[in-house]
Structure 1
């Protein structure tokens, strides 16, 4: 029984890995790869896996780029999700000035990550249009601002871009005041003794206010630290990408130079082969001429000998 359960768990893990990989497939090749994977699962007798794979919907180019970013940069993506949680917590307690500062940092982080997604897409052979780039940025803004959007992106299987909310949650200290109109105070007589707060109650209220203020400051500090750390890592990744691009360009240049040198060497080798063939032919012709000359010389020597013999014979008969 445990063995059968282990096989089922292993099969579930296999199909999850297949789906994860499928959603990083560029959209133009998504359907063909999906059908091939579904057929393979069905042929192996995994009917339910085949059904799940076949039900996968092709992502848009922007959603695919967002999935690719998550899968290709797991550590950066994990920290980005953590940053979103920290920002959402901070926005609930910050004042307007703190929100303004974090909003600027949030925009820089989103812009940097969206450029990284575009770089990954281009490296995979698909350049993002301006509209697709905007959809990627909207998706990342949604991930930071909305917990449900963050959970969807964390699956790595987005089918379309996510829509961010109009803004982060309003601070608790101002949202109620913004929604509730302030009423004019009633004109009354001097307050009664029971309406006057005691010194201990006033101190307790002040302590609560101080604790809330310290909590907001601590959350703001954590959010600022997380945002700055995210910016630093993104700068490092961009620098590493620039170094990798430069190294790749140098490698391409060396490859092109080697290819040209190989082509030149091949041409020289071909010329040498042709020269060798000509030399072989000339050598054979020379040897043929040498043999013909030797044969003619031998024939002439025989003829001369025969003529000398005839002269000697005739001279002897005259005598």
Structure 2
């Protein structure tokens, strides 16, 4: 609870809730109207709550702009992103952290611009310094669950900077009760189940890569097999052609052998004829010689 809103006497839970409700309404008013509206409300509300309202301090322009952003409903997505970032850190998921980090920066810048638009529409444009303070506050709410809970009350009286967030700084920045940090979106049991699911998904991706590698290997083997078959077919064609040539050569050799044998027979017959003629000549010469002697 802010020191400026601390009660001077005991207050019950209902008083705290009433103060929170009234403070949220007052702190959404344009800064120029705040003091008069606060004093009027403090006078209207009797007892402890009235005295506590009177001590609520005027918000800075940056805090007021963030309160407008809360009432506009623009910080819900930022809180969801904060939870997702926390879970990614729990999982040590570097890829998810990088993606969420980029998303966070884009979202923070967009929310800061929206707060500037709301402030301008309410008649109080933000200076560059105030716009920077708004962006730092929104970023703190996205990064830190405790800051998110405080900012979402819509009861900020000063901007929040993570670099300066120590001691009671967060409590001092909020009027009324400070809610506990927004719990992580996923219980630890669910976190374990999610980690198991992610591990299973990684296993599936690895199996898919292995199958793709195997498919590429099979395709390469199929291609090599097709090439080998083509070479084998060409070799068999050459063998068939050589066999046909061999059969022709064998037939030609067999024919030549027949011719050789026929010529050998003819040569033998010729030799026989020569021998017969030689014997006939010898007989004729013998008869001639005998006649000449008689």
**TM-score for the superposition, normalised by structure 2:** 0.49
**TM-score for the superposition, normalised by structure 1:** 0.46
